[in-house]
């Protein structure tokens, strides 16, 4: 069994929640009591069909306004995969939630209303999937029932979207188009009988066949030290274990390593997972390692292989998505959290703010408001050990914390 995380994006009323509800319904993932609640609520509102969006729209405010306002996580599984859907809202003011949902996802679903076609929001959704290097993007052209299941209309939308894709610099990205009707159930789980002209797979079939191993290539291993384990018991008197999660590759006993920032050399002596010792620590496993020699290592340090050093920098430029009510301003200071490593950062110049309609960039700006995206240069009080985001998803990203409010105010992708 494998897990696949999916982020959905669509504008208000594109039918995102309905699509998810349909996936749950047709895969028989809704339990009787949930189904009953949906039936009851749909009837109360006087709908003549089942309102699946009720399966996902959780908060009271959402039920009142009939829109999704925050990231909700929905779970279902088939015989081959476990799915986690991060249902993220699509309106312009909630870009931050979309970026959040996409940051932990491996697949993006972009919804388009067949009646409206490619609109400004579509550019934004695709751009965010690209910014976060989501390898598999599914473009679901929804509400096909409202355009008479027209092949011509579908092809028109596909061609419009292709123009957006052509401008992208992410060559390895897989983009798949599927015409669906979430409300009626066409091409979501069941093959549509009304669109025989479409020979591709249904949405679920496509998801089932995505190779999850192919999504992240193994590369340079990064082991940020989260916590130092010192039991101070009789049995483990001198034990010093470095606990952390392995990113980007594998660590092996005997590997020649360097500890940053001290650049001390050592070797991996043991790898523990709970009370068992292993030869190898797989990518994304939370292990504890010990080192051959007695070196001083603390939280925020990073263990890497000797021949795979990251860049050690106090100055760099990153693409920032701003997420806070308080604007980002050139010259202001933030706490920069890079993995588990915190340093102080001063904002330098802001260049190339991306226009909301993605028509181009704006130069000469000195502040960013919520949902703005721009290239920003930073200066740090201490170096961090970084990779470019394109090469290393986890080691190429960071968050900015406002020291006054403690809020997570922005996210950066290192260039």
Q: Which of residues 137-196 bind another protein (CB under 8 A)?
A: none
Taking CB under 8 A as the criterion, the residue among 32, 48, 172, 234 binding another protein is: 32
Write the interaction track for another protein spanning residues 292-311; mark x where CB under 8 A is met and - where it is not. -------x------------
Residue span 86-125 as binding mask against another protein, x where in contact by CB under 8 A, dash where not: ----------xx-xx--xx---------------------
Q: For residues 43-62, which are near another protein according to CB under 8 A?
A: 56-61
Q: Which is closer to another protein, CB of 114 or CB of 268?
A: 268
Report the nearest approach of another protein to the CB of residue 155 (Å).
37
* Residues binding another protein: number (CB under 8 A): 75
Which C-beta is closer to another protein: that of 15 or that of 89?
A: 89
If you compute the radius of gyration of the chain from its CA atoms, what whole number of angstroms results? 24
Tokens 């997570």 sit on residue:
408
CA 271-342-226 angle, 5° bins:
15
CB of 165 to another protein, least distance (A): 25
The nearest distance, CB 229 to another protein, in angstroms, is: 5
In the chain, the N- to C-terminal Cα span, in Å, equals 35
- Of the residues 282, 311, 314, 369, which one makes contact with another protein according to CB under 8 A: 282
* Residue (179 or 412) nearer to another protein, CB: 412
253 binds another protein (CB under 8 A): no
Is the Cβ of residue 127 or residue 278 nearer to another protein in the bound state?
278
3-state secondary structure of 94: helix
Both tokens of 258, joined, read 């360097």
- Is 56 or 181 the residue whose CB approaches another protein more closely? 56
Residue 41 or 155: which CB sits closer to another protein?
A: 41
For residues 307-330, one letter each, b for 16 or more C-beta atoms within 10 angstroms of the residue's C-beta and e for the rest, the string is eeebeeeeebbbbbbbbbeeebee
Query: Which three-class secondary structure state does DSSP give residue 320?
Result: strand
User: How far is it, in rounded angstroms, from Cα 351 to Cα 368?
Assistant: 10
With contacts defined by CB under 8 A, name the span among 28-36, 164-172, 201-209, 360-368 that binds another protein: 28-36
Select from 66, 67, 70, 349 the one that contacts another protein (CB under 8 A). Answer: 70
State the minimum distance, in angstroms, from the CB of residue 284 to another protein: 5
Q: Which is nearer to another protein, 231 or 254 (CB)?
A: 231
Minimum CB separation from another protein for residue 363, in Å?
Answer: 27
Nearer to another protein, 186 or 387 (CB): 387
- The secondary structure of 11-38 as a DSSP string is -TTS-HHHHHHHHHHHTT-S-HHHHHHH
Instruction: Kindly state the tokens that stand for 11.
Output: 């504008």
Q: Encoding tokens for residue 171?
A: 């060559």
Q: Contacts with another protein in 372-401 (CB under 8 A)?
A: 393-394, 397-399, 401
Phi, psi of 176 (to 5 degrees): -125, 130
Considering only 146-154, 187-195, 331-339, 372-380, which stretch makes contact with another protein by CB under 8 A? 331-339
Residue from 236, 269, 315, 355 that binds another protein (CB under 8 A)?
Answer: 236
CB-side neighbour CA atoms (13 Å) of 374:
29
CB of 190 to another protein, least distance (A): 21
| Closer of 30 and 144 to another protein (Cβ) | 30
170's tokens:
């992410």
Residue labelled with tokens 């309106």 = 91
Neighbours of 173 (CB within 10 A): 17
Structure-token pair, residue 137? 């993007």
* Closer residue to another protein in complex, CB, 99/141: 99
What is the torsion angle, in degrees rounded to the nearest 10, for the CA atoms of residue 251, residue 256, residue 259 and residue 263? Answer: -150
Only segment of 66-74, 139-147, 192-200, 310-318 that touches another protein (CB under 8 A) = 66-74
Burial of 86 (0-12, 13-18, 19+ CB in 10 A): buried
Phi, psi of 185 (to 5 degrees): 90, 20
Query: Dihedral (C-alpha) 240, 246, 248, 253: value to the nearest 10 degrees?
Result: 60
Residues making up the chain, counted from first to last: 415
* Nearest CB to another protein, comparing residues 25 and 149: 25
Retrieve residue 197's tokens: 């002209």
Q: How far is the CB of 198 from another protein (least distance, A)?
A: 32
């Amino acid at each position: 069994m494998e897990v696949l995380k999916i982020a959905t994006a669509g504008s208000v009323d594109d039918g995102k929640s309905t699509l998810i509800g349909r996936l749950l319904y047709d895969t028989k993932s809704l339990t009787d009591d949930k189904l009953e609640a949906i039936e009851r609520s749909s009837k109360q509102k006087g709908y003549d069909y089942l309102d699946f969006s009720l399966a996902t729209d959780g908060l009271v405010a959402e039920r009142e306004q009939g829109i999704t306002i925050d990231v909700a996580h929905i779970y279902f599984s088939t015989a081959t995969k476990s799915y986690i859907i991060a249902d993220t809202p699509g309106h312009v003011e909630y870009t931050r939630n979309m970026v959040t949902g996409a940051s932990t996802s491996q697949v993006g679903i972009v919804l388009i209303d067949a009646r409206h076609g490619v609109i400004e929001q579509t550019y934004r959704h695709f751009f965010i999937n690209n910014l976060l290097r989501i390898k598999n993007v599914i473009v679901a052209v929804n509400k096909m029932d409202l355009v008479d299941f027209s092949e011509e209309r579908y092809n028109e939308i596909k061609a419009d979207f292709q123009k957006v894709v052509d401008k992208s610099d992410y060559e390895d990205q897989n983009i798949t188009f599927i015409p669906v009707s979430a409300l009626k159930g066409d091409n979501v789980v069941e093959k549509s009988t009304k669109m025989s002209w479409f020979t591709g797979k249904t949405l679920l079939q496509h998801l089932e066949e995505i190779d999850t191993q192919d999504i992240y290539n193994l590369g340079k291993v990064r082991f940020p030290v989260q916590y130092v384990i010192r039991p101070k018991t009789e049995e483990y008197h001198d034990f010093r274990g470095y606990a952390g999660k392995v990113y980007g590759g594998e660590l092996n006993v005997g590997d020649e390593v360097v500890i940053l920032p001290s650049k001390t050399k050592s070797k991996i002596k043991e790898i523990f997972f709970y009370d068992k010792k292993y030869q190898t620590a797989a990518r994304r496993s939370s292990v504890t390692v010990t080192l051959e020699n007695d070196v001083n290592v603390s939280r925020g340090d990073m263990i890497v292989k000797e021949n795979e050093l990251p860049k050690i920098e106090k100055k760099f430029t990153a693409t920032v998505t701003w997420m806070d009510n308080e604007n980002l301003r050139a010259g202001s200071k933030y706490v920069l959290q890079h993995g588990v490593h915190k340093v102080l950062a001063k904002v330098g110049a802001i260049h190339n703010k991306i226009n909301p309609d993605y028509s181009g960039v704006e130069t000469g700006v000195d502040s960013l408001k919520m949902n703005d995206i721009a290239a920003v240069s930073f200066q740090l009080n201490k170096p961090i050990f970084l990779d470019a985001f394109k090469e290393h998803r986890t080691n190429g990203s960071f968050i900015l914390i406002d020291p006054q409010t403690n809020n997570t105010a922005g996210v950066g992708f290192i260039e």
